[in-house]
A and B are shown apart, each in its own frame.
Chain A
């Protein structure tokens, strides 16, 4: 069975794009959240294998979302997918506990590689 993914992005269009890529390649998208708060709730309910996380979102942004999820599950595997490619932002996300950082717009291969790599790691 495919690995279970939670997609977090406030843009419905972007969630759809990521979902298409992942389902086409054998992943199971178990949930979609439009902000950090929803992501935390869904993470608790669904216990996904990996999370893709946008940064700029209403209510609770992705950095806060990463911190909140890692507080619940220190082993949570989260990959940032954001338009904010600034160095300071990437550092902040990694320090918060994100395993990788993909800048939008992305190549399909880049997303798939990041998921494979993060899921292969045992930490």
Chain B
């Protein structure tokens, strides 16, 4: 099924491009994205893919239902999260532990809007319908957020599709990691929508 990674990467690219446009409109600044990576990863190897599992991040998790099942996760470094909140709310916070519910809702809403834009583009391309849920927010170590995201999205097969890119704003003053974890049946659904047969998933 590795042969399909290129296709998945391209679909993901379309989605991420739309999400980047949405983010640029929201913040009013140019947004760059790194080349998206699509990989099949065994569960036990997932921490090797995400970066430093002990890095403190502001994480926004969006479960996706409908015709596919998975989890979208946005991970902002603490300074990036604080800077985003300052720009959108006009109010400064010293660290992510001190956020008011309103400040946290800035990050949740960014997760909501970016996931919406990502899924809209993929929906147009595939004809599938996706139903994103209400975003969850926490500030904690990246690894614990990733493992909990997998469980929350029922992405618990021995191998998962891992899709990753990085958003960069204002010459990297703000960066955000975008992760998508998908279940194997979702993958088959995606490929089928493009007229590709998916064997051995």
Point out residues on A near B: beta carbons under 8 Å.
10-14, 16, 56-58, 82-89, 103-105, 107
Do the beta carbons of B134 and A84 come within 8 Å of each other? no
Contact flag A87-B124 (CB < 8 Å), given A11-B105, A12-B102: yes
Nearest-Cβ distance from residue B74 to partner chain A, whole angstroms:
13
What residues of chain B lie closer than 8 Å to A56, measured between beta carbons?
112, 116, 132-134
| Bound Cα distance A65, B105 (Å) | 21
Q: Which of B161-200 contact A (CB under 8 A)?
A: none
Do the beta carbons of A13 and B106 come within 8 Å of each other? yes
Do the beta carbons of A83 and B116 come within 8 Å of each other? yes
Nearest-Cβ distance from residue B67 to partner chain A, whole angstroms:
10
Binary per-residue interface labels of chain B (19-62) against chain A in the complex, 1 for a CB within 8 Å, 0 otherwise: 00010011000000000000000000000000000000000000
Interface of B is mostly: helix
The interface size of chain B toward A, counting residues with CB under 8 Å, comes to: 26
Pull 29 A–B residue pairs with CB atoms less than 8 Å apart, ordered by A: A10-B134, A11-B106, A11-B108, A11-B109, A12-B101, A12-B102, A12-B105, A13-B89, A13-B103, A13-B106, A13-B109, A16-B102, A56-B112, A56-B116, A56-B134, A82-B116, A83-B22, A83-B112, A83-B116, A85-B116, A85-B117, A85-B120, A86-B120, A86-B123, A87-B123, A88-B123, A88-B129, A104-B116, A105-B25
Once A and B bind, how many residue pairs between them come within 8 Å at the CB atom?
65
Query: Knowing that A11-B112, A104-B22 are A-B contacts, what are 5 other residue pairs whose CB atoms are under 8 Å apart, sorted by A's residue number?
Result: A82-B116, A84-B116, A85-B116, A86-B130, A88-B129
Binary per-residue interface labels of chain B (122-148) against chain A in the complex, 1 for a CB within 8 Å, 0 otherwise: 011000011011100000000000000
Contact flag A83-B115 (CB < 8 Å), given A13-B88, A89-B129: yes
From A11, A58, A84, B119 is in contact (CB under 8 Å) with A84
Nearest-Cβ distance from residue A38 to partner chain B, whole angstroms:
14
From A14, A16, A84, B120 is in contact (CB under 8 Å) with A84
Do the beta carbons of B105 and A14 come within 8 Å of each other? yes
Check: B14 CB closer than 8 A to any chain A CB. Answer: no
What residues of chain B lie closer than 8 Å to A12, measured between beta carbons?
101-102, 105
Nearest-Cβ distance from residue A36 to partner chain B, whole angstroms:
12
Point out residues on B near A: beta carbons under 8 Å.
22, 25-26, 88-89, 101-103, 105-106, 108-109, 112-113, 115-117, 119-120, 123-124, 129-130, 132-134
Nearest-Cβ distance from residue A14 to partner chain B, whole angstroms:
5
Do the beta carbons of B117 and A58 come within 8 Å of each other? no
In the complex, what residue of chain A is closest to B121 when comparing beta carbons?
A85
Contact flag A86-B105 (CB < 8 Å), given A56-B112, A105-B22: no
Do the beta carbons of A103 and B120 come within 8 Å of each other? yes
Contact flag A13-B102 (CB < 8 Å), given A58-B134, A89-B129: yes
Please provide the 9 A-B residue pairs with the shortest distance between their CB atoms, ordered closest to farther: A83-B116, A11-B109, A85-B120, A105-B26, A86-B123, A12-B102, A88-B129, A11-B105, A12-B105
| Bound Cα distance A35, B132 (Å) | 16
| Bound Cα distance A107, B22 (Å) | 11
Nearest-Cβ distance from residue A66 to partner chain B, whole angstroms:
16
